[in-house]
A and B are shown apart, each in its own frame.
Chain A
Amino acid sequence: MVAALYAVFLYVPTERQMGLVQRIFYFHVSSAICSLVAFSLVFVASIQYLRRREERWDRLAVASAELGVIFALIVLITGPLWARPIWGVFWRWEPRLTFMLITFLMYVAYLMVRAYAAGSVEQTRRFAAVLGIVAFVNVPLVHFSVNLWSADQQLHPQKVELAPEMVVARYVSLVAVGSLFLFLLKRRMELELASQTLNRIRQKLDDERGDDGP
């Protein structure tokens, strides 16, 4: 992470046209990649959970869904910050922006299902897994639709030529953001495990107390 900060702020030459703001690019792009990886993990974990009914797959799903939403949020925040000086506006209904926004909203809905479930824990997990699968299937459809819907507004460069130092910084920050993602994912899964264990202990205590009680 420190190496990435060094690379982004000191090592890389300032981009000629866009100036300092361009440095946000390194985190913007890396976060976008991480969020999409996270959503794919939700998809895989959801399928595995429905097939095997093992809690660890559910832990992976919930952890990556949360992180995916957070990284998507980072993209959606750094994007406008960068767009304001470069495009002159915070927001345009440009394909990639629309795509990221809709995807983000789908996974916010995923977290909502988990947060406001009324049934058993097991049922909540199944619901979430179903949504994790359906939402991911929708991702390419959203991508396809918004691309044709506003193709005339394409503002993201389709192909970029980077100076060699920039390429280095790009991969360093990708590795840095990627490892941050993996680290957080691991911690989040441990947290989920701990809270599951805690709930189980509480449940057990309640049961025992219920037996002794009046």
Chain B
Amino acid sequence: MIKGVVTILWKDLLVEWRSRERLGPMVVFVFLIILVFNFSFALGGSALHEIGAGVLWSAFVFAGLIGLNHTFAAELDNNCLDALMLAPVSHSSLYLAKMLGNLLFLLVVELLSLPFFSLFFNLSPGLYLVPLVAVLTLGAACLASVGTLFAAMSSNSRLREFLLPLLVLPMIYPALIWAVKATAIVFEHSRPSATGALATAAFWPGSLTEPVSFLLVYSIVFTTLALMLFDQVLED
């Protein structure tokens, strides 16, 4: 099972490495969305603590939807999906590989877009980056767990790409609420404290535990559920 997952994941990474069809457009898209927010709300430097987290996650969710659409749509060319289903790996491993791939892509996009996000929002690097990356990873895991399952469904519908946001968005709202909340908490603690000393509180604020554990629960619940149900989605 693990071997199958690794093989498919490796194949997807290799395809991405050679074609660069996903990461590039996604990063540019995040950049553009952040600008959209900037122009629609005339954001200033102090905006970070008010809506920074919301802007960041909106951009990630929209970019994520673009990337998710690619998961199975890319396999439709030359009937690659049929070949994948014939391959001697279980459908669950296929889901897991695709889900991990999406998670990885989302994470790379998030990390690549952080620098210019911090630039626009005047965020200087600091220790808060550690919990921030943890929150970003978990948020991406939530999006990938639900998104991969639905991408398989939407690639088989008349609406194609258009159906995916209709499915994913209402489902992802609870995770979004918590991801934004956690990110806002992290940003709140990103200011260097008055004494200049980096207290452990800045590293991992106590209020962060609740949102983070919710994100963890959400991603585990839906990954498990998707693993159980993925057979039903692929079967012809």
In the complex, whether A129 has a CB less than 8 A from a CB of chain B is: yes
A106, A116, A117, A145: the one contacting B171 at CB < 8 Å is: A106
Name the A residues within 8 Å of B150 (CB-CB): 131
Whether A134 contacts B225 in the complex (CB less than 8 A), given A119-B156, A149-B177, comes out as yes
A105, A118, A129, A142: the one contacting B156 at CB < 8 Å is: A118
* Contact count A vs B, C-beta below 8 Å: 84
The 10 residue pairs across chains A and B that have the minimum distance between CB atoms: A145-B174, A105-B170, A106-B170, A118-B158, A116-B159, A116-B158, A130-B229, A141-B174, A126-B232, A145-B177
Complexed CA–CA distance, A127 and B158 (Å): 13
Complexed CA–CA distance, A187 and B31 (Å): 51
Q: A109-B167, A130-B149, A145-B214 are in contact. List 19 more A-B contacts (CB 8 A).
A: A50-B229, A50-B232, A105-B170, A106-B170, A106-B171, A109-B170, A112-B166, A113-B153, A117-B156, A126-B232, A127-B156, A127-B233, A129-B232, A130-B153, A131-B150, A134-B222, A135-B171, A138-B171, A149-B177
Q: How many chain B residues touch A (Cβ–Cβ < 8 Å)? A: 30
Q: Is the CB of A138 within 8 A of B153?
A: no
| Chain B 200-236 interface residues, beta-carbon cutoff 8 Å to A | 214, 218, 221-222, 225-226, 229, 232-233, 235-236
Complexed CA–CA distance, A134 and B172 (Å): 11
Q: Is the CB of B229 within 8 A of A133?
A: yes
Q: Is the CB of B174 within 8 A of A126?
A: no
Q: Is the CB of A142 within 8 A of B229?
A: no
Name the B residues within 8 Å of A130 (CB-CB): 149, 153, 229, 232-233
Name the B residues within 8 Å of A145 (CB-CB): 173-174, 177-178, 214
Residue on A nearest B168 in the bound complex, by CB: A109
| Chain B 129-165 interface residues, beta-carbon cutoff 8 Å to A | 146, 149-150, 153, 156-159, 163
Name the A residues within 8 Å of B70 (CB-CB): none
Name the A residues within 8 Å of B229 (CB-CB): 50, 130, 133-134
In the complex, whether B98 has a CB less than 8 A from a CB of chain A is: no
How does the 8 Å CB contact mask read for A109-127 relative to B, with 1 for contact and 0 for none?
Answer: 1001100111110010011
